[in-house]
Amino acid sequence: MPPTRRHLLQAAAIGPAASLLDWSRTWAADQPFAVEKGATLQLLRGSTFLPAEGETTAANIAAFSAATGVQVKIENVNQDDLPSKTALAAQVGSGPDIIWTQNTTAHLVADKLLDVTDVANRLAGKYGPWYQVCIDYGTQNGRWICIPIFVVGSLINYRISWMHQAGFDTFPTTTDGLLKLCQGLQRIGHPAGFSFGHAVNDANNFNYWLLWAFGGKVTDEKGVPAIASPQTLAALAFAKELYPTLIPGVMSWMDINNNRAFLAGECSLTNNGISIYTQAKKTAPDIAADMDHAAMPIGPAGVPTAQNRVDPMVILRYTKYPQAAKALISFLMEAPQYPKLITNSAGFTTQALKGFADNPIWKSDPKIAPFGKAAEDTRAVSWPQTPSPPSAAVFANFIVVDMFAATVSGTLDAKSAMQRAQQQIERIYKKA
């Protein structure tokens, strides 16, 4: 019997009679990280889109504190502020012990982060292996610089009845089909919406997917800037044709805007996590009943090219309590509390370790099920390379998003927008 299955069965055997605190105390006595006497920790994280996730995480941390004596202060900030706050803490050498950040931020400050290879290997041995995208984001130069907590899937959210009215029985699986559907939806007064603004999640997810779907890439396999290509021009031409079918205002959309537009009935189709559906079930049941999710369509590249958010936790090297910090992260990804986090998040969070892939949430509702596979086809934003400081800087500066935005808005023609992006990427990689 594989180790992963054994540990999951052991966790399940705890049963309802034993509390999380009882289990936590047993875990604390056996776990390998020697928590420093008098340790306290400060955890900085982004404000959660899903209250159930934040509440479950807080409860898990409270159990950790009760079992180990380590008090943990949680500070919530706007998610868009995490990269700058992480960079500042790394630069001045003080601040939070742990930062729950997003995507490539760790790779911008890798030399300021504690090596967490022992944590990653321990978790992989019990519940692994890690999904490849989590390995890509978690490692740099052969060492683990962060621990990916989970993946947040971004799929197509669409209104079923309006899709039918536009002439489609099922959601299209190709980019050509997506364009035709969006044209049909616009004709019947129910336009789609995709962000071309500086939305950390939705805009990056959509525009990186679009670039890759047509075979474009930021760099080649050797790390040479390569966004200037016929494939990128084809992606830009597609975006230019798609843009007139979209709801007004997408040039400035942040991550909350498409949620609001969809729930208000103003937008028929967008890319997003499960949060729209979760909210709709509470406040707009008619919309929840009339919506579904689909994978991002496949373009001329001929393979799935999803870009989804990955949430890593980093430990700053200056922390006075490195063992306590390692213990906390390890605890949060143990069974039974990690599976409970996924379950309570109702599909918003997807497992980073393959041993947790059979969570019952993925079978609870066919509209949630597609999010359970979010980590399988997800590419790192550095694809086809592994993440690095330059690729992280390209991502953080919205260079890919701005290239598409300049093209669809008419600020620049496609070739000029592409050449500008190429020059920006070359400058970043030259400095590395």
Q: Is the pLDDT of residue 195 over 90?
A: yes
Residue 15 has pLDDT above 60, yes or no: no
Write out the two tokens for 390.
């330059």
Higher pLDDT, 1 or 251: 251
Q: Compare 173 and 9 and report the one with higher pLDDT.
A: 173
Specify whether 142 is located in the same domain as 26. Answer: yes
405 domain-assigned:
yes
Chain segment 304-327, per-residue pLDDT in tens: 999 999 999 999 999 999 999 999
Give the mean model confidence (pLDDT) for residues 30-58.
91
Same domain, 128 and 160: no
* Beta strands per DSSP E along 128-247: 139-140, 143-144, 147-152, 155-159
The predicted structure's pLDDT at residue 5: 42
Q: Are residues 285 and 316 in the same domain?
A: no
Alpha-carbon dihedral sign for residues 138, 349, 19, 15: negative
Is residue 390 included in any domain, yes or no? no
pLDDT, mean over the chain? 93
> 24 and 141 share a domain?
yes
Helix and strand counts by DSSP (H, E) for the chain? 20, 11
Kindly state whether residues 269 and 418 are assigned to the same domain: yes
Rg (CA), the chain: 22
Closest CA to 157 of 274, 278, 255, 283: 274
- For residues 189 and 261, membership in a common domain is answered with yes
**Structural domain boundaries enclosing 36:** 3-151+309-373
| Pair 290, 335 in one domain | no
Does 378 map to a domain?
no
Task: Tell whether 102 and 216 lie within a shared domain.
Answer: no
Asked if residue 4 has pLDDT above 60, the reply is no
Residue 107 in domain? yes
The answer to whether the CB of 26 falls within 8 A of the CB of 325 is no
Task: Provide the domain count of the chain.
Answer: 2
- Structure tokens, 382: 């550095």
265 located within any domain? yes
Residues 420 and 296 in one domain: yes
Q: 50 and 107: one domain? A: yes
H or E stretch at 23: helix 20-30
Distance (Å, whole) CA 174 – CA 419 = 27
> Is residue 166 situated within a structural domain?
yes
pLDDT at 431: 86
pLDDT range class, residue 17, cuts 50, 70, 90: very low
**Which of 82, 198, 200 has its CA nearest to residue 146?**
82
Binned at pLDDT 50, 70 and 90, residue 3 comes out as: very low
Q: Output the domain CATH number for residue 107.
A: 3.40.190.10
Are 240 and 275 in a shared domain? yes
pTM for the structure as a whole: 0.91
Q: Give the residue among 88, 108, 89 at the shortest CA–CA distance from 98.
A: 89
Among residues 387, 324, 364, which one has the least CA distance to residue 141?
A: 387
> What's residue 20's pLDDT?
81
Rounded to 5°, angle at Cα 192 from 242 and 398: 65
Given this model, what pLDDT does residue 6 score? 41
Of 326, 358, 373, the one marking the end of a domain is 373
Q: Distance between CA 370 and CA 109 in Å, rounded?
A: 33
Average pLDDT, integer, range 22-50 = 91
In a domain, 383, yes or no: no
Query: For residue 66, is it within any domain?
Result: yes
Query: What is residue 47's predicted lDDT score, i.e. its pLDDT?
Result: 84
The yes-or-no verdict on residue 49 having pLDDT over 80 is no
Same domain, yes or no: 189 and 320: no
Half-sphere exposure of 406 (CA within 13 A, CB side): 17
CB neighbour list of residue 272: distance below 8 Å, 6 or more residues apart: 154, 155, 157, 202, 258, 259, 262
pLDDT digits (tens, 9 = 90+) for 107-159: 999 999 999 999 999 999 999 999 999 999 999 999 999 999 999 999 999 99
